[in-house]
């Protein structure tokens, strides 16, 4: 046990969460993991692609799986680690929940904070997913009829619905900035966005770091800096960032977001049900979980640590993910996946004689490529048309990949992760050629 063992949290026999987060590395004594973790060295370095898929993922090789962006895909050792924790917990539930849980969670947070270059472990809060964090943030912001809110048309659909509802209920003013596609020069988009941000006295601005339907990387540090000068609080949806781009929080204060939402179960390949909420140091915002329990009034982290009895095994399995990413090298994986996505999109553009939705300089491991299918109305494709082709790919070709209708045109959104390889995109290319031929 750590040197500090004060109880301030219901009847839990646990140390104070806020104090555990404040300890220096020398003072913090983590609990040992109660089972052996995976020994990667015994496998050597597995080549990325097919072999990686067989060894470290559970994917059914009947399918060509090109949709990591949707629900991620777990690393087998991380899933096993979460299962081992589940067994361990049930051997003595009180020992775990009452005496060990907080120490173990703080350990995970401290490790993740180091990975991300946070000023302090207190910048991070463990959450089930970005949606839980988003709900918590938005319901904590005190949005009222004096609030002016800036969003973009690329905002995640569920959040756009929610923010519209909040604005309707409170009388807050909502401004939706429209990003036009295709994007060939991001600087032009940012210049226009900055003009729009200056046009009102906005209170809050919401940006996607990487939008989901039309994936491209926004230069969020530049935007945060700009918003800071205008006294606008910046909230970033980073559901797709961790594990897909070099996500860091060791920038100068003025360039950091006020709030940043992270999923670990997408590109970081953690078991489902874990994300992180980043809150900038010295923030004036008070963010509370949208579900509250014993931690009330014991500090922000305590409030988030316990939101009712639940399965924390995915949170704890982050330790295993960290071991995997550090064994293979985070930057190496990110660069490889980005390069594969570039090669795959170049290949499809060439096979189909079409174009990309966004330029390579702002694209990560997800890309949209226009399909070689035109309609009689020229540019009048709808969601239903996209769905038909997506289903054809699934049923007739065993290819799992989303088709999107963007501004009336059809695009495929490919993802590239460690288990993917270029032949899979060739298969997609041929399948679409065949579908187009029969249209
Ligand atoms: C941009 C974006 N934000 C938020 C989410 C929601 O993530 P979750 O369901 O894990 O909360 C998604 C999910 O795909 C997403 O693409």
Give the neighbor-by-neighbor strand order of the sheet with 275-279: 124-127, 275-279, 259-263, 233-238, 204-208, 148-152, 173-177
409 lines ligand 1 (CB under 6 A): no
With cut-offs at 50, 70 and 90, classify the pLDDT of residue 314.
very high
pLDDT digits (tens, 9 = 90+) for 37-67: 999 999 999 999 999 999 999 999 999 999 9
Ligand 1 atom with the shortest distance to the CA of 266: 10
Q: Which two tokens stand for residue 346?
A: 């170049």
Q: Whose CA is nearest to atom 14 of ligand 1?
A: 70
CA 306 to mean position of chain CA atoms: 22
The answer to whether 365 and 267 have CB atoms below 8 angstroms apart is yes
Q: Which residue has the higher pLDDT, 410 or 296?
A: 410
How far does residue 270's CA lie from ligand 1's centre (Å)?
A: 15
Q: Please name which of 337, 269, 263 lies closest in space to residue 77, comparing C-alpha atoms.
A: 269
Measured from the CB, is residue 208 less than 6 Å from ligand 1? yes
Residue 120: which pLDDT band, with cuts at 50, 70 and 90?
very high
Q: How confident is the model at residue 1 (pLDDT cuts 50, 70, 90)?
A: very low
| pLDDT above 90 as % of the chain | 90
The confidence score (pLDDT) of residue 312 equals: 97
Under a CB-based contact definition with an 8 Å cutoff, are residues 403 and 387 in contact?
yes
DSSP tag of 97 = I
Ligand 1 centroid to 211 CA: how many Å?
A: 9
In angstroms, what is the span from residue 337 Cα to ligand 1's centroid? 20
Answer yes or no: pTM beyond 0.85: yes
DSSP per-residue string spanning 193-257: HHHHHHHTT-SEEEEESB-SSS--B--HHHHHHHHHHTT-EEEEEETTTBTTB-----S-GGGS-
Phi, psi dihedrals of residue 238, rounded to the nearest 5°: -110, 40
Q: Is the pLDDT of residue 81 over 80?
A: yes
Mean pLDDT for 194-209 is 97
Q: Which residue minimizes the CA distance to atom 12 of ligand 1?
A: 239
Average pLDDT, the chain: 95
Q: Is the CB of 263 under 6 A from ligand 1?
A: yes
Q: Which atom of ligand 1 is nearest to the CA of 130?
A: 11
Residue 363 Cβ < 6 Å to ligand 1:
no
Distance of CA 258 to the CA centre of its chain: 17
Count of positions (residues) in the chain = 439
Q: What is the pLDDT of residue 110?
A: 97
pLDDT for 412 beyond 60: yes
Q: Which atom of ligand 1 is nearest to the CA of 211?
A: 1
Domains of the chain: 105-323 (3.40.640.10), 330-437 (3.90.1150.10)
Question: Is the confidence at residue 161, as pLDDT, over 70?
Answer: yes
Q: What are phi and psi of 328, to 5 degrees?
A: -90, -15
H/E stretch holding 151: strand 148-152
Structural contact between residues 366 and 341, judged by C-beta atoms closer than 8 angstroms: yes
Query: Rounded to an integer, what distance in angstroms lies between the CA atom of residue 64 and that of residue 75?
Result: 17
Rounded mean pLDDT of 120-129?
A: 97
Return the DSSP state at 96: I
pLDDT band at 363; cut points 50, 70, 90: very high
What local confidence, expressed as pLDDT, does residue 426 receive? 98
- The answer, yes or no, to whether residue 288 has pLDDT greater than 60, is yes
- Look at 17-31, 49-63, 346-360 and tell me which has the smallest mean pLDDT: 17-31
β partners of residue 262: 238, 276
C-alpha of residue 159 to centroid of ligand 1, in Å? 9
pLDDT (average), residues 112-139:
98
* Residue 130, ligand 1, Cβ within 6 A: yes
| CB-based contacts of 328, cutoff 8 Å, min separation 6 | 45, 418
Q: Ligand 1: which residue has its CA nearest to atom 10?
A: 129
For a substitution probing ligand 1, which of 263, 270, 415 has the most ligand atoms within 8 Å of its CB?
263
Ligand 1 atom nearest 275 alpha carbon: 10
Q: Which pLDDT does position 9 carry in this prediction?
A: 63
User: Is residue 270 lining ligand 1, measured as CB closer than 6 Å?
Assistant: no
Q: Is residue 3 scored above 50 in pLDDT?
A: no
Number of H helices, E strands in the chain: 16, 12
Q: CA 123 → CA 20, 162, 246, 300, 431, distances in Å? A: 13, 26, 18, 11, 46
Q: What is the pLDDT of residue 298?
A: 82
Sign of the torsion angle spanned by Cα atoms 421, 333, 258, 186? negative
């Amino acid at each position: 046990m750590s040197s500090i063992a004060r109880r301030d949290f219901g009847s839990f026999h646990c140390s104070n969460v806020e104090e555990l987060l404040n300890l220096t590395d020398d003072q913090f004594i983590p609990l040992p993991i109660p089972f052996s973790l995976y020994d990667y060295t015994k496998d050597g370095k597995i080549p990325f692609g097919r072999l990686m898929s067989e060894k470290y993922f559970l994917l059914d090789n009947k399918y060509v799986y090109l949709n990591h962006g949707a629900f991620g895909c777990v690393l087998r050792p991380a899933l096993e680690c979460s299962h081992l924790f589940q067994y361990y917990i049930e051997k003595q539930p009180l020992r775990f929940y009452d005496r060990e849980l907080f120490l173990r969670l703080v350990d995970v947070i401290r490790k993740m904070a180091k990975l991300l270059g946070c000023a302090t472990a207190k910048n991070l809060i463990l959450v089930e997913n970005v949606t839980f964090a988003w709900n918590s943030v938005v319901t904590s912001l005190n949005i009222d009829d004096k609030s002016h809110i800036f969003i973009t048309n690329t905002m995640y659909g569920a959040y756009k619905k929610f923010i519209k509802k909040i604005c309707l209920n409170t009388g807050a003013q909502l401004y939706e900035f429209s990003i036009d596609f295709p994007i060939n020069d991001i600087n032009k988009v940012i210049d226009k966005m900055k003009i729009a941000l200056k046009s009102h006295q906005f209170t809050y601005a919401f940006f996607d770091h990487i939008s989901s339907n039309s994936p491209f990387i926004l230069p969020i540090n530049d935007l945060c800096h700009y918003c800071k000068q205008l006294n606008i609080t910046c909230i970033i949806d980073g559901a797709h960032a961790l594990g897909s781009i070099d996500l860091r929080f060791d920038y100068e204060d003025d360039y950091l977001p006020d709030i940043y939402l992270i999923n670990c179960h997408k590109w970081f390949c953690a078991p489902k049900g874990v994300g992180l909420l980043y809150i900038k140091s010295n923030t004036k915002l008070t963010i509370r979980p949208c579900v509250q329990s014993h931690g009330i009034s014991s500090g922000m982290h305590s409030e988030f640590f316990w939101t009712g009895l639940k399965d924390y095994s995915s949170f704890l399995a982050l330790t295993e993910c960290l071991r995997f990413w550090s064994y293979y090298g985070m930057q190496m994986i990110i660069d490889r996946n980005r390069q594969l996505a570039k090669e795959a999109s170049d290949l499809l553009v060439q096979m189909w004689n079409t174009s990309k939705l966004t330029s390579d300089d702002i694209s990560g491991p997800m890309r949209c490529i226009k399909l070689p299918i035109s309609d009689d109305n020229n540019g009048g494709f709808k969601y239903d048309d996209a769905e038909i082709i997506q289903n054809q790919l699934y049923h007739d070709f065993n290819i799992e990949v989303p088709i999107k209708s963007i501004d009336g045109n059809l695009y495929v959104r490919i993802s590239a992760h460690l288990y993917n390889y270029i032949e899979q995109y060739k298969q997609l290319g041929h399948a679409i050629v065949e579908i187009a031929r029969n249209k």
